[in-house]
Amino acid sequence: MKFNFFTCQFEDENYRPDKTAVIGSDKAYTWNELKQRTDFFIDCILNASIPLGSPVIIYGHKQGNILPAILACFITRRPYIPVDPVMPINRIQKIMSASSAQACFYFEKNEVVKSLFKTVIDENGIVFSNTISAYINIYFSEVDPLAYVIFTSGSTGEPKGVQITHKSLQSFADWISKDYQFDENIAVINRVPFIFDVSVFDYCSALLFGGTLLLTDNSTAANADVFFNNIKKYNCNTWVSTPGFAYQYLKHPDFNKNYLHSLNTFYFAGEVLMPNVVEQLWKLFPGCKVVNAYGPTEATVYAAKIEITPEIIAFSRSLPIGYPKLGSKILIQPDATAENNEGEIVIVGDLVSVGYCNNPELNIEKFTLINGERAFKTGDYGYYKNDVIYFLGRKDEQVKLHGYRIELGDINAQLLKTKLVAEVATVPLRRGGEVKRIISFVKPENEAESKIALTEKITQHLKSALPAYMIPSEILVLQNFPYGNSHKIDKMKLLEMYLDNNI
């Protein structure tokens, strides 16, 4: 089966209207109900006289109505902007200001948020609507309109609105259709909130083939029994998350093929995937497929992927991030300090964003044209080996200490090789813009071992594996790491805890 989410139509007649399409935190919709809800929201958009191309904020977490609202925005050519209740009001106001958004799908009760907009639509229809002023200050093209704008954190503290067009999203969908080997039986576990672009992969994968999408909210994810019961109930087979989110379940007695019999595919992105996680998954889910994917928000979710095999783990010092997306290119641009063929990862092709919303200075810095095609300078470092890309880390993870250039990722890799460490994060402590110390935070594999004994063993290993200038000033043992909303390790929080002497 093939579903077109720009028209909300199946391109063949072999679909099941009574099959469950989406399971939200509050309600589930069959495919027939999904179509009806989408049509209802289309009418709401048109009746509210929201101008063509004007962005619409979707305010909610994991409600069942979010997906039909997204489809309605696609079909009416109004880009959607996801906003989660975890966002503070001042950030929402900054997003509104940067995007000129004046309309909102309102699925989570918050009277302050509701009062910010000229047009509000809830699950029952238009709550109130005033005439909205002319469409201004945001990219628009009749030929290739925006599909969505996702705001990410900026280094300045100001949110950056990444603009993705219909053609970029269609190119991404075509790649999934041709290269991902999914079918109508796919049932995807969505974990990340819609404010993160991996959610686009989740709903594309489920929708394109007439499958099922399970939206997992924070409270459900925190309760393994409820979470696993939902996976069983809806026969979910495709897991999508950061490696860190999967790691927290590896020791749960029900996280295995015997209990979760339908689960057979794992997609990881957003963090470095370590071999020990893959090997444990292979033991718990014999025969499962583990895929590592890579891509910034500015390149329409994923720009590369690869299935991890035992051969890759056996012969690679780190796991690759994959082969480039079909029809696109990933270049490695060396700099003056590059070693061998290492350099900055630059993504080229139709998957690249048309730029940040109302941010011309940053657009000049990060986006360019290469042979007439859009290109994005990621700020990530990597290299090619046998036509496969390997990730080295962020530019800001390459630090200089006492004149030595140090890759923090290399320290993490050595810490994990000890087999004593389950999770790790290495961060620089800066004073006046200069790196003064390097600190590694580790979560022990064996929680019964004393902190003193563990740090002594780790230090001895590092002394044998790394030059003296790369050995961290401190190694601190934590029983649990702080995580952000996307379940990446929150390094800023780690530093805050360290500086406040809370570790």
Do residues 128 and 119 lie in contact, with contact meaning Cβ atoms separated by under 8 Å? yes
Distance CA 458, CA 416 (A): 10
Q: How far lies 64's CA from each of 19, 84, 108, in Å?
A: 15, 14, 12
- Residue 335 reports pLDDT greater than 80: no
Q: Each residue of 180-205: pLDDT tens digit?
A: 989 999 999 999 899 999 999 999 99
Write down the pLDDT at residue 450. Answer: 86
Average pLDDT over residues 56-74: 97
Q: How confident is the model at residue 337 (pLDDT cuts 50, 70, 90)?
A: low
Write down the pLDDT at residue 15. Answer: 73
Neighbour-count burial of 310, counting CB atoms closer than 10 A to its CB (0-12 exposed, 13-18 middle, 19+ buried): exposed
Amino acid 312 reads I
Average pLDDT over residues 357-361: 91
Q: How confident is the model at residue 87 (pLDDT cuts 50, 70, 90)?
A: confident
Q: Rg of the chain over CA atoms, in angstroms?
A: 23
Residue 257: phi and psi, rounded to 5, are -65, -30
Domains in the chain with CATH codes? 3-292 (3.40.50.12780), 402-499 (3.30.300.30)
Average pLDDT over residues 351-373: 94
Q: Each residue of 5-47: pLDDT tens digit?
A: 888 887 766 678 899 999 999 999 999 999 999 999 999 999 9
- Residue 154 reports pLDDT greater than 60: no
Average pLDDT over residues 294-302: 95
Write down the pLDDT at residue 503. Answer: 59
Q: Please give the model's pTM, rounded to 2 decimal places.
A: 0.84
Distance CA 179, CA 387 (A): 17
- Residue 498 reports pLDDT greater than 90: no
Distance CA 18, CA 107 (A): 24
Q: Each residue of 240-255: pLDDT tens digit?
A: 998 888 988 998 999 9
Average pLDDT over residues 331-342: 71
Q: Each residue of 437-450: pLDDT tens digit?
A: 999 999 998 877 88
Neighbour-count burial of 480, counting CB atoms closer than 10 A to its CB (0-12 exposed, 13-18 middle, 19+ buried): exposed
What is the overall mean pLDDT for the chain?
89
Do residues 304 and 330 lie in contact, with contact meaning Cβ atoms separated by under 8 Å? yes
Helical H runs in 2-80?
A: 31-47, 66-76
Amino acid 488 reads K
- Residue 318 reports pLDDT greater than 60: yes
Write down the pLDDT at residue 272. Answer: 82
Q: Each residue of 459-491: pLDDT tens digit?
A: 998 888 787 778 999 999 998 888 876 677 888
Do residues 405 and 363 lie in contact, with contact meaning Cβ atoms separated by under 8 Å? no
- Residue 66 reports pLDDT greater than 90: yes
Would you report the helix, strand and coil content of the chain in percent, each value rounded to 5? 30, 30, 40
Average pLDDT over residues 84-100: 90
CA 127 vs. chain centroid, Å, equals 32
Q: Each residue of 341-355: pLDDT tens digit?
A: 788 999 999 999 999
Do residues 376 and 347 lie in contact, with contact meaning Cβ atoms separated by under 8 Å? yes
Average pLDDT over residues 403-418: 80
Cβ within 8 Å of residue 260, ≥6 positions away: 228, 231, 232, 254, 285
Q: What is the DSSP string of 195-253?
A: TSTHHHHHHHHHHHTT-EEEE--HHHHH-HHHHHHHHHHTT--EEEE-HHHHHTTTT-T
Amino acid 367 reads F
Q: How far lies 246's CA from each of 239, 256, 269, 274, 453, in Å?
A: 9, 12, 11, 12, 28
Distance CA 90, CA 157 (A): 12
C-alpha angle 49-197-155 in degrees, rounded to nearest 5: 100
Q: How confident is the model at residue 405 (pLDDT cuts 50, 70, 90)?
A: low
- Residue 336 reports pLDDT greater than 80: no
Write down the pLDDT at residue 245. Answer: 87
Residue 136: phi and psi, rounded to 5, are -140, 160
Q: Each residue of 223-277: pLDDT tens digit?
A: 999 999 999 999 999 999 988 889 889 989 999 999 999 999 999 998 888 888 9
Distance CA 393, CA 381 (A): 5
Nearest to 495 by CA among 481, 486, 485: 481
Write down the pLDDT at residue 108. Answer: 95
Nearest to 191 by CA among 183, 179, 203, 173: 203
Distance CA 488, CA 492 (A): 11
Q: Which region, left, alpha or beta, applies to residue 501 given φ > 0 means left and ψ of -120 to 50 means alpha?
A: left
3-state secondary structure of 121: strand
